Amino acid sequence: MKPHELFKQVDPAVVTELFTAFREEERDVYKSALASLAQSRKLRPVFIQKKPVPQQIAWMHKTLTLRGSDMVGENLLQVWFMKFQQPLLVKFCDGMGISHNGEGSVEGELPAELDVGKLKETVDALYAEFNPRVVSLYLHVFNMQRPGGWDSLAEVLSGDERVILGKEPETKDRQEAPGEAAPATERVAGTENGKDSESEPAQEVAGEAAPADEPRAVVEDGNGEADEGREG
């Protein structure tokens, strides 16, 4: 599954958590992502920055569901897991016997195969301890770290009923109450079918800082050398 497909299916609350963490603790990453996504839609960053924060996040989420946003989306997911979900990464690496730096960043090469027995035990432990929506997202993101992924993990992603990105496992059999409307997908004001219908203001806000470079996920290997884009 590609990053834009993950962002289509993931619970919006998880995306809000992701961007809120960046905005509060890694502000440069937030600003850089906003600028990169705005430029990809041929909009000036200030046009999005003027919106209230919840609308900024909703707009960025909507844009991340587009195929052209895959690079930004993958980097954001990798950095978020490495910086803000370290206990989950450590639990997974320890369960699978993958060497890491103590914070969940893989040291050395990723394994060519994932032991089926260890994988089942580790996945069970993750779902028992962490937010199921975040666990499901992590399993998908980890499977992107190797071309073609891993067959054993692909089986989990396709066959384990818990791996549902948009809702928790216990809600799987929930029946809609009589007269209850099915939840609608959140729409971003002024967008339809992937196209922005809003018009930009003619003037930019004075004093806006130039956008930072696009965020990049960097993992330090055991020799202190940077390994870009890998997340354990």
Q: Provide the residue count of the chain.
A: 232
> Taking 70 as the threshold, does the pLDDT of residue 217 lie above it?
no
Q: Distance between CA 57 and CA 91 in Å, rounded?
A: 29
> Which pLDDT value is given to residue 104?
85
Report yes or no: 90 and 100 within 8 Å, Cβ to Cβ.
yes
Q: What is the mean pLDDT of the chain?
A: 79
Average pLDDT over residues 45-54: 96
Q: Distance between CA 167 and CA 8 in Å, rounded?
A: 13
> Which pLDDT value is given to residue 117?
96
> Which pLDDT value is given to residue 13?
95
Please name every residue paired with 192 in a beta bridge, in sequence order, or none if there are none: 195
Q: Distance between CA 118 and CA 116 in Å, rounded?
A: 6
User: Both tokens of residue 185?
Assistant: 């997908």
The residues, ordered by sequence, that sit 6+ positions from 125 with a Cβ below 8 Å of its Cβ are 91, 95
Average pLDDT over residues 53-74: 97
- Looking up tokens 């809003």, which residue turns up? 198
> Taking 50 as the threshold, does the pLDDT of residue 203 lie above it?
no
Average pLDDT over residues 92-100: 94
> Which pLDDT value is given to residue 200?
56
Which segment of 97-101, 155-159, 186-190 scores lowest on mean pLDDT?
186-190
> Taking 80 as the threshold, does the pLDDT of residue 197 lie above it?
no
> Taking 90 as the threshold, does the pLDDT of residue 202 lie above it?
no
> Taking 60 as the threshold, does the pLDDT of residue 49 lie above it?
yes
Average pLDDT over residues 81-109: 93
Per-residue pLDDT tens over the stretch 166-185: 754 443 443 444 444 433 33
> Taking 50 as the threshold, does the pLDDT of residue 77 lie above it?
yes
Per-residue pLDDT tens over the stretch 155-168: 999 989 899 887 54
42 pLDDT band, cuts 50/70/90, is: very high
Out of 102-111, 116-125, 197-206, give the one with best mean pLDDT: 116-125
Q: Distance between CA 176 and CA 162 in Å, rounded?
A: 20
> Taking 50 as the threshold, does the pLDDT of residue 116 lie above it?
yes
Please name every residue paired with 228 in a beta bridge, in sequence order, or none if there are none: 218
- Residue 135, amino acid: V
> Which pLDDT value is given to residue 105?
86
214 pLDDT band, cuts 50/70/90, is: very low
User: Both tokens of residue 179?
Assistant: 């007269």
Please name every residue paired with 191 in a beta bridge, in sequence order, or none if there are none: 196
User: Both tokens of residue 32?
Assistant: 């850089």
Report yes or no: 31 and 212 within 8 Å, Cβ to Cβ.
yes
| Residue-wise DSSP of 67-102 | GGGHHHHHHHHHHHHHHH-HHHHHHHHHHHT--B-S
CB neighbour burial string for 124-154, b if at least 16 within 10 angstroms, e if fewer = eebbeebbbbbbbbbbbbbbbbeeebbeebe
DSSP classification of residue 154: H
> How many of the other CB atoms lie within 10 Å of CB of 194?
12
